[in-house]
Every structure is written in structure tokens, then in C-alpha cells.
Amino acid sequence: MTAGKWVREARIPSASQSMAADGGSEVGRDGVLRLCAPLGQGEALARWLKLARTGALPHAFVVAGARGAGKTTVIQWLTAALLCPSDLDDAGPCGVCRTCTRVANGMHPDVHLVDRARDEDDKDEWKKSFYVIKVDQIRRAQETLQRHAVEGRARVLVIADADCMDEEGQNALLKTLEEPGERTYLLLEAARPENLLPTIHSRAQRLGVLPLAEAVLRRELSARIPERSPHHEDAVRLAGGSLGQALLACTERVVQLHHLVRQALAEPVRLRPVALAREALAGARSRHLEVDAARNFLWLLRRELHAAVCALADAADATYPAPRTEPWTAWLERTLATERDLDLLIPPEQALVACLASFSTT
């Protein structure tokens, strides 16, 4: 197995620049990705980076955070700290040398990536799934780690969406977590770390990616996509501190989904579950793209419901209004249950219709 292309989170270019959605890599004028330091991660990450520069980093981490929060950025920066040969800085990688550039572009021979399929070609060539990381992928990675490092400083195994590993794959990974080998590091990226087995957590450090302040989100949106400024404030409110989600919220399709969500909540008694679900999934040409569209719809719906619940709490003295009068909390719980349905590979339209039907009958 060789290092894969390592830019998971969508890039949204402006007129003058293009960056990874979570802030980790910047595309130069020559079209080559270059590392950028993670935003707003404070002393916790700084401490681990110093250990990485000296080769004293613990061998395994679960890097946890919301979608688009910057997990890929943190993993790239930590990986570069392990591999960068520069002596200029003991607090992090230089970010500009040949090694750092190869890390940013997914081309370093000692960095190995395990992930889900990104497109049909990736799926067919590597026999991967859009939904889970299979045990065979973990076993191939373990075979690769048994070889010597090409450049000698360290070997790094990155598992993107590690929370999507099947149970057999997680159990197979335990052997490597227990006996990783000299200067071998495992970085497991997870939006839902609770899906990882307790035996995985017990053998790895936890590194939580911190949400960004609203002021930081506004600054980054203004710098990256100034032409979408009419949507910036909504994006900041929806993002929950995630730059990737803020950038996503400014895209035309997500703006349209947000409009659908607002319409549905404005008049829930007139809601048409089947028509609304189909409109939310319109344009998705394959099953896995339908799942992505459904998750985006549920994310927007959940953020609006959460805002409604917070408004109720602010308006009430000590108690909430009766659930039958204001069913926002029950609906919020229903969106979370629908996310679990998608995890179980329930067809997206079926899952959304069931969710929305419960709104119209509450």
C-alpha cells in the first residue's frame, strides 16, 4: 500500500486562492499543496507537537472532532512534525521543506493512508466501500508497517474515518496498537469516536480538536470566500465552531437545503414528507451521495431545532413549555435517530421520510 491522496475535506476556492476546507493546506500558484498550521488548537496540541519533534510522541492517537472541524489539518501537522528534518523549530514542522510538502500532497513514502472510497474509480481499484473500512484494508496496512521506513525518521499510519471501521477491522488493529514497532505511529481520525471499541480507546491517546471562535470563522470566511458574504452570518451560526462546516454552509446547494429546512419548520402542519425528502436528495446521482445529502439536511435541521430549543430556554423562567405545545426537543431527538438509521444503511429517502413524517404528526 502506498500513501494516498490526502485531502479529504472539500476545497472551496476563492478568486485568488484555494485552501483545504478545514484550513490545513494551501494551494500555491504552482498548484502544489502546502501545509498551514491548525487554527485555534492551543496548548494541548502544542505539547504533543514538541514531543513529536523529539520522537517522544505516544504511538497512537484518536483525533476526534466534528465534521470539518480540522481533524485532517491536525493530523497532517502532527505527521509533518514527526517527519520534518528541519532543526529551525522544536515546536512544530517548518511547513515548507520537501518533506512537509510531500505530507501535504499525500506523497510521502512513510505515510500510509487507510480510508473509505472517494469515488467510483477509487472503489473499483482498491476494492473499498463508501460506507465502511474493511478488515482487509487494515491487514494490508499492517503488512506495510512491517517493512522498514523508506527515509528512516518514522512511519505513520493514518486511518481517516476510523469510526467507520467494521468490528473485525478494529479487532485486527489491536495487535498493531499493542506492538506498533519502533518509531511507528497510528493516527485515527473520528467524528464519532464512540463508535470505536473500548479496547481501541484504551490503547490510544485522545486528542480533541477544539471548535473555533465565531470571530475566527468570520475572518476565515472573509479571506477565503468574500464573494459569499451574504451567507457568512448564517454559516457562522450553523457551523458550531467548524470551519469546514462554515465553508460548506456557504455553498449554493447547502444554502438551498437550509431554505428547505426553514420552510419545513415554519409550517410543520403543512409539511409533505415524501416531496421534501426527494427535494433534499435531488441531484445526488448515487447512493453514497444521497447519504451525504441526507446528512447535510439533517445537520441543518438539527442546528435550527437546537436554536429553537435554546430560544425556549431563554424565554422560560424555570420550566420548558409542554412538549405537545413546542415539540422541538422531540424532533431534535428524531434527527439523531435518523442519523443512526443512515449508519445502518437504511435508504436515505426512507430515513428522511420517516423522520419528517414524525414531525407532521407530532
C-alpha cell at 187: 493516527
Domain spans, the chain: 25-208, 251-361
Distance (Å, rounded) from C-alpha 314 to C-alpha 316? 6
CB of 342 within 8 A of CB of 288? no
pLDDT number for residue 123: 81
pLDDT tens-place string over residues 194-220: 999 999 999 999 999 999 999 999 999
Amino acid in position 62: V
Q: Which among 179, 171, 175, 165 has a CA at the least distance from the CA of 114?
A: 165
Q: Which residues of the chain have pLDDT under 70?
A: 1-31, 316-326, 360-362
Q: Quick one: CA torsion of 261, 264, 265, 266, rounded to 10 degrees?
A: 120
Q: What are phi and psi of 129, to 5 degrees?
A: -110, 150
Q: Which among 249, 362, 225, 232 has a CA at the least distance from the CA of 300?
A: 249
Distance (Å, rounded) from C-alpha 286 to C-alpha 118? 12
Distance (Å, rounded) from C-alpha 267 to C-alpha 284? 26
269 class by beta-carbon count within 10 Å (0-12 exposed, 13-18 middle, 19+ buried): exposed
Q: Which among 302, 297, 265 has a CA at the least distance from the CA of 284?
A: 297
pLDDT tens-place string over residues 152-191: 789 999 999 999 999 999 999 999 999 998 899 999 999 9
Q: Which fold has domain 25-208?
A: Rossmann fold (3.40.50)
pLDDT number for residue 324: 45
Q: Taking the CB of residue 283, how many other CB atoms lie within 10 A of it?
A: 11
